[in-house]
């Protein structure tokens, strides 16, 4: 169910290609928007609960018969969202007002665009383009412009530090992430996410699913490099130095409040969703079932794809509530002196592997 | 106008900042991420402790000492009452001595747990902080059970304590210790031996022994630099000479001697030693009346006394001058956290902003005690 299919459908009903295009794009886009809002809402709730259980707390709970936040606190995020929406939207008097207002939306767009090409199932995908992987990596780096803008426009030293750190970090970690995603591209000889997933069907020795992560030692390593770099790109602990609470107060979002801040939050969770989706599609067999040959209908596909994404997001939360934070130079050290050389060797190794074993 | 400003930036860390451990302002001159100079600005929490003390009676000073080092009020009380008893030359009952040691050591554990947890928070690890606060809570519950207060106890009085221990206190305390000792292993697995934690703290903010001594740094910060100095052992007060315990010192396990990790690690080891002391004291706890030796009228003879005790932050000294009237002429408190903070500039110049906060956290300062 791609946009192309919808355009074709509508062009039979309407004469104007413009009308059918707008209709098709909105029908495909609105569910994505809802999905993102839902993702953030659920992820925030889950993060609260996961962190609570990891910290030996109970997290948000309904309080007595009045159920202030609903049973088990499920309405906590809704309450938070309402609070953020009705909060005053303060803009510092010395801020660059235009950039300050625009920045959250640029970050949001960067996070939102990537979701459009994620293959939710063999038949559910908004746009099926032949350079899907490249597209996600490309639009993923749009966000950094927004971060630098936010940091600069706030006219606050903490924001500036946060923005500079973030720019350095995201740009650096794009390289190992990009180099690692080359491994599945080399093995499948395609950048199309659907064909990439189809390549991974079947099984190895009849037991393991034929996912790229299990295919050879180099791709196994590549997955971990990709995932860790993805965590760094989404600015999550242990790589959350741009918004390091104990150092930079809140980094580049120090001066933001209310809805603009909520947009940052939404984007963070959307980013997590997109990178987890790319990792799932590129390495973990996308919508394929973990039991080779069973449960592979499109509806099950939706389930498997979301399960993989949710698992990866859970691992990110697990990281966050377990690890301390790296220092900015150690972060760069890990990226440039460890990950990039290994990722390079990986590409070389996969090339040899493909040449010899096939 | 038109003058080149240079490329240094002045950054104010605090007074409203998540990791200044109170209300402290650090004026930091930075070149990018590298810090070249730090000037701590104090006084946001100044409450005129010494002036207040001159205008109240001797026993009324005790609640003020609570509010100095609010994380280890028992130890603050302890120093003052030990100094006063020395000035008045009174003997106190055995039971009071033991109760005081038990309370002071429990409070040392509580204070160190907070210091260690908050240090994890400074480095970016949230979870260990809550684990440690969870266990600290049980200590505070015991204090509440004994004297009704959870933070500012006003428990140790001149010549005695305000309340005797509840009947089942020993059982509760032993239960707690049995539960608590395995937890230390958990903290170590979660935080201490984490690779990132070691990377962040080892070799960072090294205080060489001679620098530490010349600044007057004391307590775990001094022992972290490898100097074996503990007032409880070297100038025993109260009944500390009766207990068998070790003084852990830094060894430079993962980096250089005297780095942030050593200071952290010394605190962790001290918690174990405090547990040892508490166990011995609970075993020997004699029966008796805690009010028996309390003087009816507190009017020390003219003269002065200086007594130092080992608070969780180090060498806590009280200098009390008396002119024979019911209120002191002068009470001076030597704050260990103040001396620790004074070496911050020398230790952390040349490190990064993140390291400055790591070093500040490793010194375990309490602003209430610094500003008094």
What is the full DSSP assignment across B163-218? SPPPTTHHHHHHHHHHHHHHHHHHHIIIIIT-HHHHHHHTTSS---HHHHHHHT--
For A118, the token pair is: 């994620």
In chain B, at which residue ranges do the beta strands (DSSP E only) sit?
9-13, 25-31, 34-41, 156-157, 160-161, 303-311, 314-322, 330-334
Q: What is the CATH number of the domain that holds B249?
A: 1.10.645.10
Residues A28 and A172 in one domain: no
Burial class of residue A275 in the structure, from the number of CB atoms within 10 Å of its CB (0-12 exposed, 13-18 middle, 19+ buried): buried
Q: Which of A35, A67, A86 is the last residue of a domain?
A: A86
At residue A331, the pLDDT reads 85
Cβ count near B3 (within 10 Å): 5
- Answer whether residue B353 is part of any domain: no
Instruction: State mean pLDDT over B34-57.
Output: 87
Write out pLDDT tens, residues B234-253.
888 888 888 888 888 888 78
**Closest residue in chain A to residue B127, using alpha carbons only:** A55
**Closest residue in chain A to residue B129, using alpha carbons only:** A55
Residues of A with CB under 8 A from a CB of B: 51, 54-57, 157, 161, 237-238, 240-241, 244-249, 321-330
Q: Tokens 């775990």 identify what position?
A: B220
Query: How does the average pLDDT of chain B come out, rounded?
Result: 87
Residues A70 and A153 in one domain: no
- Answer whether residue B65 is part of any domain: yes
Q: Nearest-CA distance from B155 to chain A in Å?
A: 31
Q: Tokens 């939404």 identify what position?
A: A266
Contact B28, B11 (CB under 8 A): yes
Domain boundaries, position A48? 1-86
C-alpha torsion angle, residues B69, B74, B76, B78 (rounded to 10): -170
* Chain B contact set for A325 (CB, 8 A): 123-125, 196, 200, 354
Question: What are phi and psi for residue B160, nearest 5 degrees?
Answer: -170, -160
Q: Which of A69, A86, A103 is the last residue of a domain?
A: A86
Residues B105 and B127: their CA atoms lie apart, in Å, by: 25
Q: Which of A46, A67, A86 is the last residue of a domain?
A: A86
DSSP state of A64: G
Contacts with A, B 285-344, CB within 8 Å: none
Mapped onto helix, strand or coil, the DSSP state of residue A172 is helix
At residue B109, the pLDDT reads 92
Cβ count near A270 (within 10 Å): 27
Query: How big is the A-B interface in CB pairs under 8 Å?
Result: 77
Structural domain total, chain B: 1
The minimal CB distance from B357 to the residues A237, A246, A321 is found for: A246
Mapped onto helix, strand or coil, the DSSP state of residue A140 is helix
Spell out the per-residue pLDDT of chain A, length 358, in tens: 566 777 777 777 777 777 777 777 777 778 888 888 888 888 888 888 888 888 888 878 776 655 677 777 788 888 888 888 888 888 888 888 888 888 888 888 888 888 888 888 777 777 778 888 888 888 888 888 888 888 888 888 888 888 888 888 888 888 898 888 888 888 888 888 888 888 887 777 777 777 888 888 888 888 999 998 888 888 887 887 777 666 777 778 888 888 888 888 888 888 888 888 888 888 888 888 877 777 777 788 888 888 889 899 899 888 888 888 888 888 888 888 988 999 999 899 888 888 887 6
Residues A190 and A129 in one domain: yes
Long-range (24+ apart) CB contacts under 8 A made by B65-69 are: B65/B333, B66/B152, B66/B153, B66/B154, B67/B152, B67/B368, B68/B333, B68/B335, B68/B368, B68/B369, B68/B372, B69/B311, B69/B312, B69/B313, B69/B316, B69/B337, B69/B366, B69/B368, B69/B369
Residues A72 and A102 in one domain: no
Cβ count near B195 (within 10 Å): 10
Contact A142, A92 (CB under 8 A): no
Residues A304 and A297: their CA atoms lie apart, in Å, by: 10
At residue B140, the pLDDT reads 92
Largest Cα–Cα distance in chain A? Answer: 67
Q: Is the pLDDT of residue B1 over 60?
A: no
Axis crossing angle, helix A157-188 with helix A143-153, rounded to the nearest 10: 170
Residues A279 and A314 in one domain: yes
At residue A67, the pLDDT reads 62
Residues A82 and A98 in one domain: no
Q: Is the whole model's pTM more than 0.80, yes or no?
A: yes
Residues A78 and A112 in one domain: no
- Answer whether residue B171 is part of any domain: yes
List the one residue out of A10, A222, A263, A273 whose CA is nearest residue A117: A273
Residues A124 and A260 in one domain: yes
At residue A45, the pLDDT reads 87
At residue A1, the pLDDT reads 53
Q: Tokens 């199932």 identify what position?
A: A121
Q: Is the pLDDT of residue B3 over 70?
A: no
* Chain B contact set for A162 (CB, 8 A): none
Residues A37 and A111 in one domain: no
DSSP state of B241: G
Residue B97: which region, alpha, beta or left (left: phi > 0; alpha: psi -120 to 50)? alpha
Q: Nearest-CA distance from B209 to chain A in Å?
A: 26
Contacts with A, B 72-131, CB within 8 Å: 120-127, 130-131
Contact A157 B123 (CB under 8 A): no
Contact B354 A321 (CB under 8 A): no
Distances (CA, A) of B94 to A161, B84, B97, B148, B306: 58, 17, 5, 23, 23
Structural domain total, chain A: 2
Residues A79 and A119 in one domain: no
Q: Is the pLDDT of residue B211 over 80?
A: yes
Higher-confidence position of B77 and A67 = B77
Residues A132 and A253 in one domain: yes
Contact A323 B355 (CB under 8 A): no
Residues A69 and A155 in one domain: no
Domain boundaries, position B291? 48-340
At residue A123, the pLDDT reads 74
Burial class of residue B131 in the structure, from the number of CB atoms within 10 Å of its CB (0-12 exposed, 13-18 middle, 19+ buried): buried
Write out pLDDT tens, residues B361-372.
888 888 888 888
List the one residue out of B63, B14, B42 whose CA is nearest residue B370: B42
Write out pLDDT tens, residues B267-276.
999 999 999 9
- Answer whether residue B365 is part of any domain: no
* Chain A contact set for B124 (CB, 8 A): 237-238, 240, 244-246, 323-325
């Amino acid at each position: 169910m791609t946009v192309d299919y919808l355009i074709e459908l509508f062009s039979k009903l309407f004469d104007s290609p413009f009308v059918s295009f707008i209709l098709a794009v909105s029908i495909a886009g609105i569910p994505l928007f809802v999905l993102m809002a839902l993702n953030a809402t659920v992820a925030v709730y889950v993060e609260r609960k996961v962190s609570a259980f990891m910290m030996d707390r109970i997290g948000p709970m309904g309080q007595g018969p009045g159920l202030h936040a609903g049973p088990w606190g499920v309405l906590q995020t809704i309450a938070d969202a309402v609070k953020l929406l009705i909060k005053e939207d303060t803009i510092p008097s010395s801020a660059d007002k235009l950039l300050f207002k625009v920045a959250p939306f640029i970050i949001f767009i960067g996070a939102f665009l990537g979701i459009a090409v994620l293959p939710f199932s063999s038949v559910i995908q908004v746009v099926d383009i032949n350079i899907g992987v490249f597209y996600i990596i490309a639009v993923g780096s749009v966000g950094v412009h927004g971060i630098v803008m936010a940091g600069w426009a706030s006219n606050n030293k903490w924001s500036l530090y946060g923005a500079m750190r973030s720019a350095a970090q995201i740009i650096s970690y794009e390289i190992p992430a990009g180099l690692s995603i080359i491994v599945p591209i080399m093995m499948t000889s395609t950048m199309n996410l659907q064909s990439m997933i189809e390549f991974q069907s079947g099984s190895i020795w009849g037991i393991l699913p034929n996912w790229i992560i299990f295919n050879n030692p180099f791709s196994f390593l590549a997955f971990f490099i990709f995932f860790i770099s993805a965590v760094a790109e989404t600015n999550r602990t242990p790589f959350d130095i741009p918004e390091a609470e104990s150092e930079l107060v809140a980094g580049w979002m120090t001066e933001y409040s209310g809805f603009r801040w909520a947009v940052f939050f939404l984007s963070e969770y959307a980013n997590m969703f997109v990178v987890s989706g790319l990792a799932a599609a590129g390495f973990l067999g996308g919508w394929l079932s973990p039991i080779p040959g069973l449960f592979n209908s499109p509806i099950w596909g939706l389930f498997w794809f979301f399960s993989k994404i949710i698992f990866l997001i859970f691992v990110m939360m697990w990281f966050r509530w377990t690890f301390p934070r790296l220092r900015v130079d150690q972060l760069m050290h890990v990226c440039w002196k460890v990950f990039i050389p290994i990722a390079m060797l990986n590409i070389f190794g996969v090339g040899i592997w493909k040449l010899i074993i096939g | 106008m038109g003058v080149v400003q240079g490329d240094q930036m002045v950054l104010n860390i605090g007074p409203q900042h998540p990791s200044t451990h109170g209300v402290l302002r650090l004026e930091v001159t930075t070149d990018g991420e590298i810090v070249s100079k730090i000037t701590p600005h104090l006084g946001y929490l100044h409450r005129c402790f010494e002036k207040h003390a001159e205008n109240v009676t001797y026993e009324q000073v005790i609640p003020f000492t609570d509010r100095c080092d609010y994380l280890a009020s028992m130890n603050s009380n302890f120093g003052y009452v030990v100094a006063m008893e020395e000035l008045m030359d009174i003997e106190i009952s055995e039971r009071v001595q033991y109760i005081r040691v038990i309370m002071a050591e429990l409070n040392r554990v509580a204070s160190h747990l907070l210091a260690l947890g908050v240090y994890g928070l400074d480095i970016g690890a949230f979870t260990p902080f809550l684990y440690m606060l969870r266990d600290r809570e049980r200590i505070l519950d015991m204090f509440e059970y004994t004297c009704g207060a959870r933070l500012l106890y006003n428990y140790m009085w001149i010549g005695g304590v305000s309340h005797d221990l509840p009947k089942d206190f020993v059982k509760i305390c032993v239960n707690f210790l049995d539960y608590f000792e395995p937890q230390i292993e958990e903290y170590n697995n979660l935080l201490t031996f984490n690779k990132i934690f070691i990377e962040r703290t080892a070799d960072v903010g090294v205080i060489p022994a001679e620098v530490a001594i010349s600044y007057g740094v004391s307590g775990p910060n001094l022992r972290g630099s490898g100097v074996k100095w503990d007032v409880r052992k070297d100038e025993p007060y109260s009944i500390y000479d009766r207990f068998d315990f070790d003084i852990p010192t830094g060894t430079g396990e993962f980096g250089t001697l005297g780095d942030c990790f050593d200071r952290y690690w010394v605190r962790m080891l001290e918690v174990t030693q405090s547990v040892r002391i508490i166990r011995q004291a609970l075993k020997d706890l004699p029966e008796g009346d805690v009010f028996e030796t309390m003087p009816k009228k507190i009017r020390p003879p003219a003269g002065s006394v200086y007594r130092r005790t080992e608070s969780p932050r180090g060498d806590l000294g009280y200098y009390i001058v008396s002119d024979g009237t019911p209120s002191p002429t002068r009470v001076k408190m030597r704050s260990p956290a103040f001396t620790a903070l004074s070496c911050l500039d020398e230790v952390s110049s040349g490190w990064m902003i993140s390291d400055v906060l790591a070093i500040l956290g490793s010194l375990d300062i309490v602003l209430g005690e610094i500003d008094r």
